[in-house]
Structures are given as C-alpha cells and as structure tokens.
Amino acid sequence: VKHRPVHPRLRWLAIGAVAIVATVGAGIYVLSPDSDVAPVQGLRQLDLVYLDQPAPGLDRLGVEPGRPAVILFCRPRCAEPTLTGAQVSQSDDPELAASYALLTSSGRVGPGYALVDAAGQLRYRTFDPAPAQHAKEIQILVDAVTSAR
C-alpha cells in the first residue's frame, strides 16, 4: 500500500479540531457540578480495595458482625443498591461520616459508601453520586473482598 501524505493544512485543521474538542469537553466536565462530588477526584470510584483498618462505629451503624457490609453515607438519605452477599446500612451522621473520611470540608455528608469485610475491617471507601445506580460496580468490590478472605 502506498502512503499518500495528508495535505499539511488539512492535517493541522484536524489536529486543531481534536484540540478544541478535547479542551471544550474536558472544560465542560471540570466546570460541571458532577466534578465536585468528591473533594479529591482520586477518592471517587477508584475501585481499588486499598484499605485494611478497623471500621469505626459498626455498632452505631447496626452492622452485624461476620458479614460484609456496605455503609452508605448520604444526606438526604439516598436509595440503596441491591447487593448479594453483603448487608447494606445507611447513615447521615456527620461524625460517623468524618470517621470514614466521607465528610467534606464544607460539612456535606457523602454521598458515598464504605465497604467493610466480614472481619470488620474497612477495605474501601469512596464518594459516589448515586450508589443505587452503581450496584454492579459495588458488587464487584464486595465479591473481591469476600473472595480475598
């Protein structure tokens, strides 16, 4: 196949178009309210089970020992995801949310959730704008925590 070089003007036009689309698209996202859900974007839906520390306040949250738990932190309360193999608890207590690092500096509780394994260890927590709509995502993490122990 013989290569036919693209006309330089057309090439620069295309590159310019890509640059504009990328800049406008990323700009719209950065300025949207959705980008402000988490104080640090790295704390949002990272999907990495990276914690292993005792989960605070499980008795206050009504979590039964011996079973994995997904604890939602939302104010106002949010819809709960349907999960298998894990109990779901919910709290809008700022003090508890702070102990899970799911309280923002402006005092907003979540929205987000924490994942606690059967041994009562906090394994993951994240800001999440709509946990109920992300049940499949959460289930993958529940399954990972369950199979790891």
* Chain contacts with other proteins (rule: CB under 8 A): 1-3, 6, 14-15, 18-19, 22-23, 25-26, 29-30, 34-35, 40-42, 44-50, 128-130, 133-134, 137, 140-141, 143-144
Residue 73 or 96: the one with the smaller Cβ distance to other proteins is 73
Q: How far is the CB of 36 from other proteins (least distance, A)?
A: 11
Residue 16 or 62: the one with the smaller Cβ distance to other proteins is 16
Residue 96 or 127: the one with the smaller Cβ distance to other proteins is 127
Q: How far is the CB of 125 from other proteins (least distance, A)?
A: 14
Q: How far is the CB of 128 from other proteins (least distance, A)?
A: 7
Strand order in the sheet with 121-127: 53-54, 121-127, 112-116, 69-73, 87-91
- For the chain, state the CA radius of gyration: 21
Q: How far is the CB of 17 from other proteins (least distance, A)?
A: 10
Q: How far is the CB of 148 from other proteins (least distance, A)?
A: 10
Residue 45, judged by CB atoms within 10 A of its CB (0-12, 13-18, 19+), counts as middle
**CB atoms near residue 11 (< 10 Å):** 11
CA distances from 73 to 18, 31, 147 (A): 40, 25, 25
Residue 118 in tokens: 């059967």
Residue 61 or 112: the one with the smaller Cβ distance to other proteins is 112
Alpha-carbon gap, residue 102 to 113, rounded angstroms: 8
Residue 99 or 146: the one with the smaller Cβ distance to other proteins is 146
Phi, psi of 115 (to 5 degrees): -115, 120
